[in-house]
Structure 1
Amino acid sequence: MLFAIEEINNSTNLLPGISLGYKIYDTCDSNARSVGVALALANGNDTVPASSKVLCNKSAQVKAIIGDTSSSTCMATATIVGPFNIPQISPFATCACLSDKSKYPSFLRTIPSDYYQSRALAQLVKHFGWTWVGAIRTNDDYGNNGMATFTETAQQVGICLEYSVAFFRTDPPNKIQKIIDIIKRSSSKVIVAFLSYLDMDVLINRLSHHNLSGYQWVGSEAWIFDSQTAEMDKHHVLDGAIGLFIPKAHVRGMREFILDLKPVNSLDTDILTEFWETLFSCKFKQSNLLAENQSKCTGHEDMIGLQHGFIDMTLMPIFNNIYKGVYAVAHALHSILGCNKTCNKTMQLDPFMILQHIRNINFITKEGEEVYFNVDGDPPAKYEIINWQPTENGAVDFVIVGLYDASLPEDKQLNLQNKSLIWAMNLTQVPVSVCSEKCSPGTRKVLQKGKPVCCYDCIRCADGEISNITDSISCVQCPPEFWSNHRRDVCVKKEAEFLSYEEMMGALLTVASLCGTSMTAVVAFIFFTYRKTPIVRANNSELSFLLLFSLTLCFLCSLTFMGRPSEWSCMLRHTAFGITFVLCMSCVLGKTVVVLMAFRASLPGSNVMKWFGPTQQRLSVLIFTLIQVVICVLWLAISPPFPFKNLKVVKDRIILECALGSAVGFWAVLGYIGFLAVFCFILAFLARKLPDNFNEAKFITFSMLIFCAVWLTFIPAYVSSPGKLSVAVEIFAILASSFGLLICIFIPKCYIMLLRPEKNTKKYIIRNKVNF
């Protein structure tokens, strides 16, 4: 402050012709003393001892205050001077509470608020993946407010505090011992310390006694760059610590000014005398030498080469904050007094006017740094990231490894440079501090009961769900046509399932269909070869050939149910099935009626056969078949079957099937087939005891019994079969019923024609009444 005031007073550009004076008070970091000092400054008297260099001929009432460095004392001072609108600029009080202008309207500072530091610390912890940390703070406004902001931000970014404890350096040893015990019991390996350097010194001393090393410390600006704290860490407890500090600065001439200080040359001897005596461990007054056993100060001792914290140039950022604060007041006065080559010295200086001008100042220091305050009286928030790296001689090197700039977008605020960091225990790998290991893709987090959100179990996603990110809190349902893979991290296209010719089941059914077709062709060939024999002619050869033709179509229509469903195949399979089976039933029904009519024709005086001759037989088959054709045409016209992707029957596959379209049309087709089959069965059953030489009704009865049994069994089997099995069941029913008709009606006749030709004669039939 003295350096800045002297520099301003010697300047011809800033406040020309005006000299700044000052009063210096020592608050001893006491709130009570701070209140007394504030009252003295506000009242303009000298009731409190002060070291002063009065260069003013105006009222002694102070126009601006530089200080204090502690948040608590600043709050006490700001509460007193605020109602008087006396500007107060602190270089090192960081509590976010001081940004509240309703409580502290005249407070400003040249160091960023802890609001930004706390958020920066939370982002720093999150950057290294530490989600399970402990926290220790100073039990005062600085520590409590700073840690409150850190805790709030930490929760927002997914960081949990295993413990958060507070202490003050004057607390009894047993309280600090409790904190040591908490650290020992904890599972977290990272400790965030929002402590003043004095409290940190006390804690380090106790930690060293318990040899509590191996913890990764994350520190606030109050101790992370303090060389005295590093010197006290004899057991290297804090090695690898990382934290934030205000950016490096350089004030030209500052070092030379300090080294050139001589108490004997200064009018303000009181403060410099005490400074000098402490610096060189000597005394100016001879009366105290014997008692203190110290040498006598001459005032001409050489500070060059002296190692002492008071002249440590690593504290230049703090010096720079004081420097900027003094210049802010000077620039405000320069603006108010309308200074150009001269200043208006007659103007009355109102503290409120000075405060308003300080709030609005914007200037560039001689080092090129822009100085201004936001609406809360805070400067732009920038921090350097400091890493404690031990050197070979046992000292600590404060290495800058990154930068935090709150003015940038959130994703760019934290910028770590490509420098190797040293961690606790001199490790080069980032320590791990988590309550639970990360959940890999394919799993989701489930919180452990009664524990913080950072403690969880990893549960595998259910079938059809995935998580493709680490630490997912939920699994995502795959789209309807997709399914989760084995690892549950990717949705893959569901396999389309339909009955194909290539697979075993499809191949067997295809072979069965072709065998049935071939078998029917062989039977037709045999019947054609023996068409003039009595056994063929006696059983209505025309209807027999038409029945064989319809059976051939029945066997072949089963092939339409295989392969990938398409619009045309869906319409073809159901209509072909319905029409061919009605044609088949019409022929069987015609043969049954022929048996009945033949029996009646054999009665004396009966001419019934003329009413059911070949023409009537053809017409009956045609009419019965046309009725089914009409039903099918109406079905196709109103609501035809169509290809459909069934996603409900089987979860992990797509069932490609044919939807019915109109259920009424489908059941009308089946119902009509069933009606003909039941009617045919009833007629055949009634004709089963007719004379043996025309009794084909027994074989028809048995074939219809098989036919009805197959299709009655088909209904529950079809409903209960999933996927392509339902199609296979339908094909099996078609083939089984077709084989039943073929074998029951035609195979006995083929047996006689091929193996028992002696029975295939008119004489033998009449004599032995052979069953046809």
Structure 2
Amino acid sequence: MTGQSYSVYNAVYAVAHALQAMLSSKLKHRGMADGGKRMLLDLQLWQLHHILRTVSFNNSAGEKISFDQNGQIEASFDIIHWVTFPNQSFLHVKVGKLDPKAPRDILLTISADTDECFECPRNQYPNNDKDGCLPKEITFLSFGEPLGIILTVFALKFSLITVFILGIFMKYRDTPIVKANNKNLTYILLASLLLSFLCALLFIDQPRKATCLLQQTAFGVIFSVALSSILAKTITVILAFVATKPGSRVRQWMGKRLAYSIVLSCSLTQAAVSIAWLAISPPFPDLDMYSVSKKIVLKCNEGSGSMLYALLGFLCFLALVSLTLAFLARKLPDSFNEAKFITFSMLVFCSVWLCFIPTYLSTRGKSMVAVEIFSILASSFGLLGCIFSPKCYIILLKPELNSKEQLIKRRNKGTHLPFKCS
């Protein structure tokens, strides 16, 4: 029962006792036991008020309810300490009592053994009994825990697969299928994917100044090289087929110089964003005291959220442009066209990062780091598998298809290309 309910309860019972006393006195005075209803209607309100001041009774809680000569209730009062917490909850603690009917020396009593509440320091949390503070556990995603070991193993495994594929393409660099799709761009793409797998390792273990500076910036630059390489491959395929039209001036744009210009310009743009970020407000090691209860999470503070959004926004731009162009070029003749594989790889890439956003925002602590590492590994492996697995299949298992005669045969079924394998 709340304090307000208790007061209403006592008020109703006080009026009831006063009415009963008034009725009893009238009936006794008139001596009419059967005329109670008629006599009650003859009572005046001022009489009720006079009798109310003389009422005295014990309520169901055992408290004596009465009024003093001034009409004030003679009841005891509890002294309550309201303890509020950061989550807006509160606790009532009785710390004393005020009893007007008690002797003067114990009129007011305060519990001298009452606990004094105080807020625990930022690096501690209250125990279950709320009578002491315990140190918070310092936590981060380390190489020694199971989750860190699993992510490290996958990063190294994918790196070895990338090195294996790079070795295959370098060994068979003079074959038509490797030459047909600009082998130098292929080497750049494989090297950037290899670095992206290794880049994931920067997010594991205790954050330090050097790793915090490199985590997002290295990730942004390396992924921009990979995506710009894919974009250059796609543009090269489209220009190759557009150049076959009579009177087309696109032929003058053909060549390795255009592809290298795309990769270089996109990579330098992302590098400029990263350098500006490091110069204006660089990331730094930080402590997260509150997101996980009873734990202190070591993490890298981004420093400038706007620069992080600029870096990620440029990657999104490259991914969407590559996806759009590859989708438009997916039905061009197959001899020299890897746009279909690029389309599927970019769909996988975009799907991974679209799922990353809500998952990242809904997690806390070191789980956020694990989600980002998983997204880096999954998107990079998606690019590696979708683009290079069909070629490795032909090189290793169907070598009879990796010949100039086969490519010319397939090319003659489609559109004549104005360039040779180089």
The TM-score, its normalising length taken from structure 2, stands at 0.70
Residues 544, 712 of structure 1: alpha-carbon distance in 2 compared, 3 angstrom cutoff: same
The aligned counterpart of 2:419 is: none
Report 1:82-121 matches (<5 A). Answer: none
**Counterpart of 1:477 in 2: which secondary structure?**
coil
The alpha-carbon deviation at position 491 of structure 1 amounts to 2.6
**Counterpart of 2:291 in 1: which secondary structure?**
coil
Residues 634, 448 of structure 1: alpha-carbon distance in 2 compared, 3 angstrom cutoff: closer
**Counterpart of 1:694 in 2: which secondary structure?**
coil
The alpha-carbon deviation at position 445 of structure 1 amounts to 9.8
**Per-residue deviation, residues 575-627 of structure 1 (Å, max 9, x unmatched):** 10110000111100011011111212344555634413112211221111001
The aligned counterpart of 1:478 is: 120
Counterpart of 1:531 (choices 167, 173, 198) is: 173
The aligned counterpart of 1:550 is: 192
Report 1:206-605 matches (<5 A). Answer: 446-447=93-94, 471-485=113-127, 488-604=130-246
Indicate yes or no: 2:353 matched with 1:678.
no
**Distance in 2 of aligned mates of 1:472 and 1:642:** 44
Report 1:590-739 matches (<5 A). Answer: 590-604=232-246, 606=248, 608-739=250-381
**Distance in 1 of aligned mates of 2:204 and 2:114:** 44
Residues 472, 497 of structure 1: alpha-carbon distance in 2 compared, 3 angstrom cutoff: farther
**Counterpart of 1:656 in 2: which secondary structure?**
strand
Contact 1:578 1:670 in 2 (8 A): yes
The alpha-carbon deviation at position 446 of structure 1 amounts to 3.6
**Distance in 2 of aligned mates of 1:554 and 1:610:** 34
- Which residue type is aligned with residue 740 of structure 1? G
Residues 448, 494 of structure 1: alpha-carbon distance in 2 compared, 3 angstrom cutoff: closer
**Per-residue deviation, residues 524-555 of structure 1 (Å, max 9, x unmatched):** 01111111111111111000000000001111
Q: CA RMSD in A?
A: 2.5
- Which residue type is aligned with residue 590 of structure 1? A
**Per-residue deviation, residues 201-232 of structure 1 (Å, max 9, x unmatched):** xxxxxxxxxxxxxxxxxxxxxxxxxxxxxxxx
- Unaligned segments of structure 1, at least 5 residues: 1-443, 457-469
The alpha-carbon deviation at position 739 of structure 1 amounts to 0.5
Contact 1:710 1:733 in 2 (8 A): yes
The aligned counterpart of 1:759 is: 401
**Counterpart of 2:138 in 1: which secondary structure?**
strand
**Per-residue deviation, residues 611-663 of structure 1 (Å, max 9, x unmatched):** 13112211221111001111111111111111111112112111111111111
The alpha-carbon deviation at position 485 of structure 1 amounts to 4.5
**Per-residue deviation, residues 335-380 of structure 1 (Å, max 9, x unmatched):** xxxxxxxxxxxxxxxxxxxxxxxxxxxxxxxxxxxxxxxxxxxxxx
The alpha-carbon deviation at position 474 of structure 1 amounts to 3.6
The alpha-carbon deviation at position 741 of structure 1 amounts to 0.3
**Distance in 2 of aligned mates of 1:687 and 1:604:** 19
Contact 2:140 2:297 in 1 (8 A): yes
Report 1:126-141 matches (<5 A). Answer: none
**Distance in 1 of aligned mates of 2:379 and 2:92:** 57
- Which residue type is aligned with residue 123 of structure 2? E
**Distance in 1 of aligned mates of 2:117 and 2:159:** 53
- Unaligned segments of structure 2, at least 5 residues: 1-90, 100-107, 415-422
Contact 2:287 2:299 in 1 (8 A): yes
**Distance in 2 of aligned mates of 1:488 and 1:514:** 47
**Distance in 2 of aligned mates of 1:483 and 1:677:** 45
The TM-score, its normalising length taken from structure 1, stands at 0.39
Contact 1:446 1:473 in 2 (8 A): no
Q: Which has the larger radius of gyration?
A: 1
**Distance in 1 of aligned mates of 2:174 and 2:252:** 22
**Distance in 1 of aligned mates of 2:277 and 2:128:** 44
The alpha-carbon deviation at position 483 of structure 1 amounts to 2.1
Answer 1 or 2: which has greater helix percent.
2
Contact 1:500 1:506 in 2 (8 A): yes
Residues 493, 612 of structure 1: alpha-carbon distance in 2 compared, 3 angstrom cutoff: farther
The alpha-carbon deviation at position 472 of structure 1 amounts to 4.3
Q: How high is the sequence identity, in percent, across the aligned residues? A: 49
**Per-residue deviation, residues 110-139 of structure 1 (Å, max 9, x unmatched):** xxxxxxxxxxxxxxxxxxxxxxxxxxxxxx
> How many residue pairs are counted as aligned between the two chains?
315
Relative contact order (alpha carbons < 8 A, sep ≥ 6): 1 or 2 greater? 2
- Which residue type is aligned with residue 676 of structure 1? L
**Distance in 2 of aligned mates of 1:510 and 1:516:** 10
The aligned counterpart of 1:745 is: 387
- Which residue type is aligned with residue 686 of structure 1? L
